[in-house]
Structures are given as C-alpha cells and as structure tokens.
Amino acid sequence: MAYQVALEDSGVSALVISGFAYTQAASATSPRNMLMVIGKWDEFRQRMTGTRDIEKEWMSGAQTKKVIPVANPRIGVTYGDFEQGTARRVFVPRTIHFMESHDRGSISEMLEWMRKALHPPEQLWIDSKNQTWAVKEWATLIAMLACFASLLPLGRIFLGMKFFGDLEGVPTGHYACSVKSYLKFSAVNGVLMWLYLPLIFFLFGVHVYLAPIDRVFPMMMANGVVWWFFWINVIGFSSSDGGSGGSRERRDTHGRMRAFPIEKRGLDWTSGRCQRPYCWP
C-alpha cells in the first residue's frame, strides 16, 4: 500500500492516508509530509487506531507521540515543516469509513495538503473548495437510472423477436399475481438486493483476515458487485424449477427466460414458480 511505500522510499514527498492510521513504524520524519484522515465514526477505527473515540484518545497515544513529538498535539493542526518533510496533520471528519472519500471537507484537506507539499504551478491549481465531483456522481446515477428504464422497452423489443416469441402469452381472466403476492415477492426481491451489504462485508473480511485477493482482482468494489450478482443468480437458479428436471420444452423455456431482462423474471425466481404462458401487466 501507499503507506508502506512511503515508509521505505524517502523520495515520496507527501502522503495522505484515508481510512487508515500510521503505525509504530512511522516517525517524526518518515514518511515525509504525512496527512492522516479518518472518520469519527469509521467502522474500522478500533482495529486501525486501537481507540473507540478517536477525538479523545488518538492524539495522546504512543503512535502519535512518536510521529508528532510535541506537547498536547491537537486534531486539525499542522505540525512540522513541509520543506524539511516533517509536516504532520490529523483530520477527523464527522463521517463513516465508506464516506471518507466522498466528504467535501476530507477532499479539500487532501488537496490542500498536496498543494503545500508539492507546490504545483498556481495558474494550474483549482480552489480545493470548488469541487465538481458531486455533479459527476449525480450524472452517473441519472445515466444508470436511464439504463434501468430502458430495460422495459428493450424487453418489449425482445418479445417481438422469434427466439423469445413463445415467452409471451395472452392474459386469461386475471393477472398472474394478486396484490398480496406481488408485495410478498417484491419484498423478497428487496431482501436479495440488501444482501449486497453482508456479502461485500464478508468478501472484505476474507480479503483482510484470510487471503488477500486484490493481487488477482484489484478492483475491490467491482469484486463486491460481481460477488453479489453471483450469489443472487445462484439463489435464483436454485429457487426455480428450471434448474433440474422437467421436460425439454420447460428447460428450454427457462434457458431463454434467463437471457431475459431481470425485472421480467424476478417474481418467478423468488416465488419458485414457472408459470406458462408468461404474462406481465
């Protein structure tokens, strides 16, 4: 990690550690120009810092006394000198671990720290408080929602194709699901969505405590999404009667259904039913 590299390489002029804490290996001069950012309610604060209340305990601990050798060091105060590489600062935003990289105050602190340590040309520098990343994040959300909205018309287009033609049926008498059944199975789908949180925590636990996987799969958040997709598909496959047995025609229909947009088949997956003809309101 960047912290370990900075400890071993004095050529690294500045370091920012976020969601992490300097260790006993650090000193007043190594790494050079170090800023530590960790949330007040960071879920891993006890593991990272050995404290339950960072604001009250961290600055008086043995690690900080070694890194910032001054009387009564305080959070949010810069100590040392940038030119000599001894600058030190601890910033504690009022946020949790996952939001540390999305906290405006934290981002501003990091940018200002790098500006003071690296001295980029002023004409190329943008004010650290002039942050546009939130606009990009909202734009990404809108694009994602647009993609989801396109699934319905795409589903209609697919149903018009010969390959998927036998999946479309004519409603007879009444809808396939009553309001009660619809709410029930929608709730089950909601539970499957929320499985993302425990599954990704489990994956991170395996990575941290058992076997590091980032050397093979370096994009950890993408790993979490793929892990989640894998398990909900396993659950969906095992809960439908197309997973094993049944007639050839029934298995073929299931195979085509699995190639279909997920919102069309979610209720069939969670209910364990495979009704035919398929009809959706």
Name the pTM for this structure. Answer: 0.59
Question: To which residue do tokens 């004409």 refer?
Answer: 123
Are 188 and 257 in the same domain?
A: yes
Q: Are residues 253 and 181 in the same domain?
A: yes
Does 15 reside within a domain? yes
pLDDT digits (tens, 9 = 90+) for 80-108: 999 999 999 999 999 999 899 889 999 99
Instruction: Report d(CA 58, CA 15) in Å as an integer.
Output: 19
Q: Which two tokens stand for residue 153?
A: 């018309």
Provide the 10 A C-beta neighbour count for residue 199.
18
Q: 119 and 10: one domain? A: yes
Instruction: Return the structure tokens found at 170.
Output: 């004519």
Question: Is 80 in the same domain as 180?
Answer: no
Looking at residue 174, its pLDDT comes to 59
- Torsion angles phi and psi, residue 238, rounded to 5: -75, -25
pLDDT tens per residue, range 211-268: 888 777 777 778 888 888 888 888 877 765 544 444 444 444 444 444 444 434 333 3
Q: Do 107 and 170 sit in the same domain of this protein?
A: no
What is the residue range of 63's domain?
2-124
Burial class (CB in 10 A: 0-12, 13-18, 19+), 106: buried
Choosing from 124, 156, 182, the residue where a domain stops is 124
Domain count, the chain: 2
